[in-house]
Amino acid sequence: MTGPILRVRDLTTRFRSRAGTVTVVDGVSFTLDRGEVLGLVGESGSGKSMTGFSLIGLVDEPGRVEPTASVELDGRELVGLAEPEMRALRGRRISMVFQDPMMTLNPVLSIGDQMGLVIAAHHRMSRADMATRAAEALTRVGIPEARARLDAYPHQFSGGMRQRVAIAIAILNHPAVIIADEPTTALDVSIQAQILVELQRLAREDGTAMIWISHDLATVSTVADRVAVMYAGRIVEHGPTTAVLSRPRHPYTRGLLDSLPSRGEPGHDLAQIPGAPPSLAALPPGCAFAPRCGHADAACGVAPPATEVGPRGWRCHHPLEEARR
């Protein structure tokens, strides 16, 4: 089959409370090809994790994905799907890896039992076959003596090994799409490097597409084919990773890049974005980045339209020059 494996159009997620309605994901659209890695970058509260939760149908009341949104996985519409149907897809065609494996693994079930549950939810299989399949998945993510480790409990693994187990669970049923939400943020650099390499290899071998959610531009630049930068619930810039990071068009992308210590001269002041990300409950009208932007003027009081040029796109009234550097 050709065409993108995932097509997201106008994804909007709102939380309603007595204090009012907060839009945490606002009109997010993108496509994901088979085997492609999309980096979703942003600071806390930018809506990047909520985008992941919305895609996989894990937004609980009082949150709601607006019915006007569309998420097509392999041609099948997920928005509005009844929970039993969503459950049949979740963990089989689309799965998620979270930041903290201590929170997502069940502490009172052995690794083998947890993996067995994920297989049994989607396939009829003997216990012996399940164990074989689980051990294969553990071996693929680099866990030695996988058969013996099936009887172990999460607390018997180190942080890095636990995250490998979480990844093994995500790949158990060979999903078409994996959403990885800050999968290496809680890990040490040497372990992070191992997990980065493993996940890239898995995606390549299986042709699995991945959405890599992270605040770390350097990590995203090493794994992602394309990148989407989020600010206050919206994608403000997207395109091929190296193109966006070497020639950003949106001032926020540029500000993020310039504030990296690796880009500055040691001992000299880093370029900094003034102010702090806005509260989603009190967004400025128009462009949400305008109050922190050096290029903002009266035009920015109106929401900037989405501009699409070739593989790239941005939402800005005053995009930076293409040939700036």
Partner 1 sequence: MTLAPPAGVAAEAFVVLDKVGKIFAPQISLAEELLAHLGAGLDRRVLHAVDGVDLTIAKGEALGLVGESGCGKSTLGRILAGIHRASEGRVRIDGRPVTDAAGRKTTTRVQTVFQDPFASLDPRMTVGETISEGPIAHGFVERRAAQAHVAEWLLRVGLDPAFARRFPHQFSGGQRQRVAIARALAMRPDVLVCDEPVASLDVSIQAQIVNLFLKLRRDLGLTLLFISHDLGVVRHLCDRVAIMYLGRIVEVGTAAEVYGHPRHPYTRALLDSVPRLRLDPDAAGGVSPISGELPSPLAPPPGCHFHPRCPLAEARCRVERPLLRRLADGRDVACHLATDAPPHVPHGG
Interface positions with partner 1 (CB under 8 A): 43-44, 158-161, 188-194, 196-197, 200, 215-219, 221-222, 240-243, 245-246, 255-257, 259-264, 266-273, 276-277
φ, ψ (nearest 5 deg) of residue 74:
55, 40
- Pick the closer one to partner 1 by CB: 53 or 231: 231
- Pick the closer one to partner 1 by CB: 125 or 243: 243
- Pick the closer one to partner 1 by CB: 121 or 243: 243
CB of 37 to partner 1, least distance (A): 12
- Pick the closer one to partner 1 by CB: 197 or 299: 197
CB of 221 to partner 1, least distance (A): 4
Question: Looking at this protein, which amino acid is placed at residue 30?
Answer: F
Angle of the 127-140 helix axis to the 159-171 helix axis, nearest 10:
120
- Pick the closer one to partner 1 by CB: 39 or 175: 39
Contacts 24+ apart (CB under 8 A), 71-76: 71/6, 71/7, 71/8, 71/9, 71/11, 72/6, 72/7, 72/8, 72/9, 73/5, 73/6, 73/176, 73/177, 74/1, 74/5, 74/6, 74/176, 75/1, 75/3
DSSP for 54-120 reads: HHTT-PPTTEEE-TT-EEEETTEE-TT--HHHHHHHBTTTEEEE-S-HHHHS-TTS-HHHHHHHHHH
- Pick the closer one to partner 1 by CB: 68 or 242: 242
CB of 51 to partner 1, least distance (A): 17
- Rounded-to-integer distance, Cα 116 and Cα 123, Å: 10
CB of 140 to partner 1, least distance (A): 16
For residue 2, what are the contacts with CB-CB under 8 A and spacing of at least 6? none
CB of 253 to partner 1, least distance (A): 11
CB of 92 to partner 1, least distance (A): 30
CB of 267 to partner 1, least distance (A): 6
- Pick the closer one to partner 1 by CB: 188 or 322: 188
Q: Residue 80 half-sphere exposure, CB side, CA atoms within 13 Å?
A: 9
Q: How far is CA 229 from CA 39, 217, 309, in A?
A: 8, 10, 16
